[in-house]
Structure 1
Amino acid sequence: MARSSCLVFLLLVSSLIPHWAEAAAINSLKSFIQQTRTVRANFSQTLYDKSARTVQESQGTMQFERPEKFRWTYDKPYEQLIVGDGSKVWFYDRDLNQVTERPFNIAIGSSPAALLAGSSAIEDNFELVELGVQNEMEWLEAIPKSKESAFEFIQMAFSPDGVLKIMALRDNFGQTTILSFSDWDKNPTLPADLFQFTPPGNADVIRE
């Protein structure tokens, strides 16, 4: 089943899952958060418009260190970097030579980074709902509690051994982003300066 079709299927069945359904995916998410302090992985990302047509495909690497430090590097098709140090988040577009700097709590809110790199109190920011098993993966939906979130929901799929494989995000414009993860390296030693960022001297810096 294609990823977009899989997402549509999950959207249709999510309201049919009984509240007493086994909390396998939620348990996998909580175990992932509790047992993982640092992570390094590769990702591929596909953006679909509200008609499920492909808008853009990209790929890169991500690292995080709990709590609240992360680094997302987009290698293709455009070089972009997102770095969070727990206080601020920097968005750097190399082609535009532009940096956007935002306070951490405003930039993150109820975002994917908050799910992956946030504290263990995940249910403070999200309502978690089981979606059942599809394609031999356990799915859940995380619905932001904040009305200011940029996302309507985030769906996550775990393999039977508890490895996060897919994140599907629907934003407030009806666009869907599918993130597929591979080559997980759990609890590696990461250099501290990985989560620090100094804008290039000639870059256009926008502070919000």
Structure 2
Amino acid sequence: MVRSSCAFFFLLFVSLIPVCVEAAAIDSLKTFIQETRTVRANFSQTLYDKNARTLQESNGTMQFERPEKFRWTYDKPYEQLIVGDGTQVWFYDRDLNQVTIRQFNIAIGSSPAALLAGSSAIEDNFELIELGLQNQIEWLEAIPKSKESAFEFIQMGFSPEGALKIMALRDNFGQTTLLVFSDLDKNPNLPADLFKFIPPDNADVISE
């Protein structure tokens, strides 16, 4: 089911072209950012190559607290954890028992995490383009203004009620990552230590 659903949405978003419509998706994004301080959701993620072939499927949970705190947990097929506290980002691969630490502004930049968990001034970092309504999903495209961004564009899909449903990201190598969200909970109480990470004593730690 995940494979067929993701393939459908992939064909959808690569065929979208900007049209003259009301700014429904952009308004939904701005409202989502203004009214949402914390989020918890499940996600399924599919990575496609430039020829739309599936390279990898995974799933996990997303949590963030604005501004600039987030926690992405991958449960399958490999257990991985990404934690950002606004200053640093920790990438932990449980199978390799390896932790990579990067400065927050270098690791994030014009990324999906910056778009979701960043400040409300999203148009400082992204050009927003309305893409219209397709199959009851309101789409927009966010193009990073920074030339150093790892992504060509990010597309986001909202329900007519303003709920975030889908994100699609095209990187500079032509690969596309599709994220489909479910059970999204707005403004839950999240513990502060959720956005802190202490590497295991025996882990291989790399600082960049």
CA contact (8 A) 1:67 1:118 kept: yes
1:135 is matched with 135
2:32 is matched with 32
After TM superposition, the score normalised by the length of structure 2 is 0.95
What pairs up with 1:105-116 in 2 under 5 angstroms?
105-116=105-116
2:45 is matched with 45
What pairs up with 1:54-203 in 2 under 5 angstroms?
54-203=54-203
CA contact (8 A) 1:110 1:149 kept: yes
**1:2–1:182 Cα change, 3 Å:** closer
After TM superposition, the score normalised by the length of structure 1 is 0.95
Q: What CA distance in whole angstroms lies between the structure 2 residues aligned with 1:5 and 1:186?
A: 27
Opposite residue 64 of structure 1, the aligned amino acid is F
Cα distance, 1:2 vs structure 2: 4.9
The percentage of aligned residue pairs carrying the same residue is 79
2:15 is matched with 12
Opposite residue 12 of structure 1, the aligned amino acid is S
Deviation sequence 1:91-150 (CA, Å, 0-9, x none):
000000111100000000000000110000000110000110111110000000011111
CA contact (8 A) 1:46 1:178 kept: yes
Task: List runs of 5+ in structure 1 lacking aligned partners.
Answer: none
Deviation sequence 1:70-104 (CA, Å, 0-9, x none):
00000001000000000000000000011110000
Cα distance, 1:6 vs structure 2: 3.7
Runs of 4+ with >2 A deviation: 1-13
Task: List runs of 5+ in structure 2 lacking aligned partners.
Answer: none
**1:6–1:79 Cα change, 3 Å:** closer
**1:50–1:78 Cα change, 3 Å:** same
CA contact (8 A) 1:10 1:131 kept: no
Q: How many residues align?
A: 205
CA contact (8 A) 2:41 2:183 kept: yes
Q: What CA distance in whole angstroms lies between the structure 1 residues aligned with 2:203 and 2:111?
A: 26
Q: What CA distance in whole angstroms lies between the structure 1 residues aligned with 2:113 and 2:9?
A: 23
CA contact (8 A) 1:26 1:140 kept: yes
Which secondary structure does the structure 2 equivalent of 1:206 belong to? strand
